[in-house]
């Protein structure tokens, strides 16, 4: 048991299953199965590495229960056929061989079918609006008949039986996040007038019948749990009071634990919370359910650090805690917490870039911004260099520090040049309280520099510094710079850079106009408004935050709506004069905006200097240019490029 986190590392029980600690790997889709839902070699390698991290229970990602309409996403795991069993058995065995207990989640997607292919079935013909915007009327669900509901009940029960045959230790029924069972539970999506609609007793009938069918096929002793949204956060939806009643029903019917989450895909910020949403976002609902039932409750939702997890257990808000994204950011999260090495835990920054946007909306396999190895297990890994070299890294931002970290772990001698304190753009990026997760990541990287013995030179590196240092290789990661379009007056004294607002080098006046509509523009507008400034956000396009992930778009839209920021779109700035910004619309109509300060947040462009070319002129030196210096992007792009470069040295 960990002396620092004694509750977290105390053994626990879910039904007949004993767990070595209170950490549960939440079921999170990887898109790494074969197209027919069978287990792939890639999926086995992934779960082997995650299970090695010390987590007590690994609940494998949601598996579709029939071949009719239950499959949600590309390359999703399946459990609807006996032909899935051999691969599933290997998956369960692989997890258990690493010392973890093996669970699996069963799912029917209902209206939330990322694939967008027919048939889409649900309780009622209420579409997922994001899918309807993409697929049109094809996204409107077909209403399930009574006969079809009965078939789905049997499919869930048969799938539980297959999980038992595949030697899983536990099965979780997915009754959360806007999938089929939630489509029945929530009045937002259930408009039926038969015995499956109307009253709560009717709306929870599908789940009740699934539980009874499963128990009839596998018996009472096999550990069976359910995941519920404490609330779907829909105005006309499913609140915690009804969740409590459903949890009581589940306990009465013999379920062994309630796994509490929140949200649906329309309210995705409550399901996969971005960094602008408070951490431990759905723990309040787990606490409410725990007070009402006698079976264990698993709390979940942005529990990113072990101190948060320990506090939940100590305060009685949950019996177990589940981690999804944090175990992708660092599969060794549990081992490091147990060993008292919490400073070595690579923190999830809740950017939702690799694990959500690129996976579900760009149909890739799962990735992680801060951990390039996730999804590439056995393919992309840190290996000792054949020859130890002297390496210079220029730039102490996320790309530079990641390159230095990986190169040092490979056995190279690394010197990092950074004229400021370590962190680079992460410093400015984490100043706003709704971006503070970036600060944890910056602190982690800086700690690794110190623990690995990377030499830090606090100066701007010149070509002569690198040449006289007799380095064998150099990684140039000096970042990008703010874009400055050719607009008259944009170089005036009242015009300030958003970056300098965040780092304190510039102070804005009371009346502020922010130019831009991307992520940085929205963030600096909200930051200044929270600090008491009167802010107008002026953007030439109609849509704001186009460069943001889906969850940031939702969250920032809501934050702007609650704020006093005046948002003006569809206007092109034509001139900036002292005290005034001039802009025109597409019809040539001119508008004027008074401003004490004008903040530019018009994107970033790569830095163009001669450093790399000068270093290439030195015979025999390997030169890598990475990060925003080459092409502006997100943390994901910078860190992954740095990792690859360091592995090539």
Q: Which residues are catalytic?
A: 179
Q: Please tell me what DSSP assigns to residue 548.
A: S
Measured CA to CA in angstroms, residue 81 lies from 156, 210, 216, 333, 597 at distances of 12, 18, 19, 34, 64
How many angstroms separate the first and last alpha carbons of the chain? Answer: 40
Torsion angles phi and psi, residue 481, rounded to 5: -140, 160
Longest dimension (CA), the chain: 81
- By C-alpha distance, which of 351, 403, 459, 432 is closest to 622? 403
Q: CB–CB of 323/25 below 8 Å?
A: yes
Buried b (16+ CB within 10 A) or exposed e, 61-77: bbbbbbeebbbbbbbbb
Instruction: Give the three-class secondary structure for 424.
Output: coil
| Under 8 Å between Cβ of 312 and 299 | yes
Distance CA 547, CA 563 (A): 21
**Is residue 280 classed as helix, strand or coil in its secondary structure?**
coil
For residue 465 the two structure tokens come to 């510094």
For the record, the structure tokens of 204 come out as 């929870």
Q: Which of 170, 234, 169, 179 is nearest to 207 (CA)?
A: 179
Tell me how far apart the alpha carbons of residues 591 and 366 are, in angstroms, rounded to a whole number.
Answer: 45
Task: Find tokens 């944890």 and name the residue.
Answer: 440
Token readout for 295 is 């079976």
**What string of DSSP letters covers 580-648?**
EEEEE-TT--EEEEE-SEEEE---EEE---SHHHHHHTSTT-EEEE-GGGTS---HHHHHHHHHHHHHH
Q: Which of 94, 86, 34, 97 lies closest to 64 in space, CA to CA?
A: 34
563, 529 in Cβ contact below 8 A?
A: yes
- Classify the phi-psi angles of 8: left when phi > 0, otherwise alpha if psi is within -120 to 50, otherwise beta: alpha
Q: Give the Cα separation of 120 and 111 in Å (integer).
A: 6
Strands across the sheet containing 597-600: 495-497, 597-600, 511-515, 534-539, 566-569
């Amino acid at each position: 048991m960990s002396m620092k986190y004694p509750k977290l590392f105390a053994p626990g029980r879910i039904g007949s299953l004993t767990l070595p600690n209170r950490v549960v790997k939440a079921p999170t889709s990887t898109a790494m199965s074969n197209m027919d839902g069978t287990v792939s070699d890639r999926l086995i390698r992934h779960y082997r590495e995650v299970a090695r991290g010390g987590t007590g229970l690994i609940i494998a990602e949601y598996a579709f229960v029939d071949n009719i309409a239950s499959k949600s996403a590309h390359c999703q795991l399946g459990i609807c056929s006996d032909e899935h069993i051999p691969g599933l058995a290997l998956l369960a065995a692989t997890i258990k061989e690493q010392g973890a207990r093996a669970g699996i989640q069963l799912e029917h997607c209902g209206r939330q079918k990322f694939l967008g292919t027919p048939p889409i079935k649900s309780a009622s013909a209420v579409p997922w609006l994001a899918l309807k915007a993409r697929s049109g009327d094809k996204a409107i669900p077909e209403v399930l008949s009574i006969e079809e509901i009965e078939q789905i009940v049997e499919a869930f029960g048969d799938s539980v039986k297959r999980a038992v045959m595949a030697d899983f230790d536990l099965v979780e029924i997915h009754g959360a996040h806007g999938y089929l069972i939630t489509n029945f539970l929530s009045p937002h999506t259930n408009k039926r007038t038969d015995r499956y609609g109307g009253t709560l007793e009717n709306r929870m009938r599908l789940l009740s019948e699934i539980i009874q069918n499963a128990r009839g096929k596998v018996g009472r002793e096999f550990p069976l749990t359910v995941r519920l949204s404490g609330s779907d956060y829909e105005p006309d939806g499913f609140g915690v009071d009804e969740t409590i009643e459903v949890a009581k029903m589940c306990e009465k019917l013999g379920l062994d634990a309630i796994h509490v989450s929140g949200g649906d895909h329309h309210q995705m910020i409550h399901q996969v919370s971005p960094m602008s949403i408070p951490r431990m976002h759905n723990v309040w609902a787990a606490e409410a359910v725990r007070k009402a039932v006698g079976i264990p409750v698993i709390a979940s939702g942005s529990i990113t650090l072990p101190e948060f997890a320990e506090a939940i257990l100590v305060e009685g808000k949950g019996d177990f805690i589940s981690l999804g994204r944090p175990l992708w950011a660092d599969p060794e999260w549990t081992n490091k917490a147990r060993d008292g090495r919490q400073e070595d835990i690579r923190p999830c920054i809740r950017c939702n870039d690799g694990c959500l946007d690129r996976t579900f909306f760009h149909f890739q396999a799962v990735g992680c911004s801060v951990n390039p190895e996730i999804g590439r297990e056995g393919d992309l890994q840190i290996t000792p260099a054949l020859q130890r070299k002297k390496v210079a890294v220029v730039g102490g931002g996320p790309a530079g520090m990641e390159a230095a970290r990986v190169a040092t772990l490979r056995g190279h001698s690394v010197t990092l040049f950074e004229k400021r304190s370590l962190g680079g753009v992460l410093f400015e990026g984490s100043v706003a309280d709704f971006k503070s997760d970036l600060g944890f990541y910056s602190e982690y990287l800086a700690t690794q520099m110190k623990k690995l013995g990377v030499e830090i030179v606090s100066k701007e590196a010149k070509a002569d510094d690198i040449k006289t240092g007799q380095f064998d290789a150099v990684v140039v990661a000096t970042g990008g710079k703010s874009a400055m379009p050719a607009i008259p007056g944009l170089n005036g004294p009242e015009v300030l850079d958003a970056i300098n607002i965040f780092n304190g080098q510039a102070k804005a006046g009371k009346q502020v106009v922010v130019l831009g509509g991307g992520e940085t523009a929205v963030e600096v507008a909200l930051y200044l408004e929270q600090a008491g400034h009167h802010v107008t956000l002026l953007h030439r396009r109609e849509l704001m935050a186009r460069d943001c992930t889906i969850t940031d778009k939702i969250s920032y839209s809501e934050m702007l709506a609650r704020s006093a920021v005046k948002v003006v779109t569809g206007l092109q700035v034509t001139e900036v004069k002292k005290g005034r910004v001039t802009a025109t619309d597409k019809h040539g109509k001119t508008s004027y905006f008074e401003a004490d300060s004008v903040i530019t947040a018009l994107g970033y462009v790569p830095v163009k200097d001669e450093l790399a070319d000068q270093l290439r002129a030195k015979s025999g030196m390997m030169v890598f240019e990475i990060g925003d210096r080459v092409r502006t992007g997100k943390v994901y792009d910078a860190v992954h490029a740095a990792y690859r470069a360091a592995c090539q040295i």
